[in-house]
Structure 1
Amino acid sequence: MLRPASAALLLTLSLIGCADDRRAERLKAAGPNPTLEKLMTVADAKAGARLFGTCAACHTSSAGGPDTGGPNLHGIYGQPIGQHSARFGYTAALRAKGGNWDDKALDAWIANPQRFVPGTKMQFSGIPDPLARADLIAYLRSLSD
């Protein structure tokens, strides 16, 4: 049985090709077997904003927006993991993770939150597509003041 967030993700991923007619061109520019660093050079924050629609089931992204099922993600890029919002009840596992939300940490988290932080309460299976993750990271970067 699919969780609502997983079902929404599948629908969103199925529409990625329709919403991004430059996808093949961007993948070609990133080269064969591209690293995260290469993918970030072709990442599209607008495509990431469209993908964030799935995340919006639990997260807000406007400056000063409320925490809902998950913390508000405005300005999260570069912030300490598990400490961005003083109002949100992060799990002990996430608070203990250490580090900051940079490209590498966000990529691992978006790919599979439970693998990145065993014990997280985030009910999301992850995004398997590396370019989609890079696009979402580019969008989250754009939310930093």
Structure 2
Amino acid sequence: MRSAIFALLLGLTATPALAADGAQLFNAQCKMCHQAATGPLAPTLADVAGAKIASKPGFNYSPALKAKSAQTWTDANLDAYLANPTGFAPGTRMMVKVAKPEDRQALIGYMKTLK
């Protein structure tokens, strides 16, 4: 039952409160590498939600993420990656995990606002 509720919540569009919580988490956990523009450490996350995996121009993605380039950054894929990057894409260079489901949900909601 809990997983069904969580899956339903992941499918919802970002609410302002959820995006605000996600912005705080993003600034605390992600912003040091993920900037407004793609940089040497990480790609920009603008328009990442719904985009093909490893598709941002100008960034040299790991072979692990390039191998998933036929897939899309759905809510479920973003959630799985944030929960365990090396489990989702063994060999990825991202090592930061987001343990709490509610934090991942907030981050995903925030990423949907990045344009």
Shared topology, TM-score over 0.5?
Answer: yes
Q: Distance in 2 between matches of 1:111 and 1:94?
A: 15
Q: Distance in 1 between matches of 2:30 and 2:40?
A: 11
Check the 8 A contact 1:59/1:68 in 2, yes or no: no
Partner of residue 73, structure 1: 45
Q: Distance in 2 between matches of 1:93 and 1:40?
A: 26
Q: Find runs of 4+ consecutive structure 1 residues off by over 4 angstroms.
A: 39-43
Residue 39 of structure 1 deviates from its aligned partner by 5.0
Check the 8 A contact 1:48/1:138 in 2, yes or no: yes
Check the 8 A contact 2:46/2:114 in 1, yes or no: yes
Distance 1:39 1:96, change over 3 A: closer
Matched, 1:89 2:60: yes
Task: List runs of 5+ in structure 1 lacking aligned partners.
Answer: 1-31
Distance 1:49 1:40, change over 3 A: farther
Residue 89 of structure 1 deviates from its aligned partner by 0.6
Q: Distance in 2 between matches of 1:139 and 1:76?
A: 11
What amino acid is the match of 1:46? A
Q: Distance in 1 between matches of 2:89 and 2:38?
A: 24
Partner of residue 24, structure 2: 50
Task: List runs of 5+ in structure 2 lacking aligned partners.
Answer: none
Q: Kindly tell me the number of residue pairs found equivalent between the two proteins.
A: 108
Q: Distance in 1 between matches of 2:51 and 2:100?
A: 24
What amino acid is the match of 1:51? L
**TM-score normalised by length of structure 2:** 0.84
Q: Greater helix share, 1 or 2?
A: 1
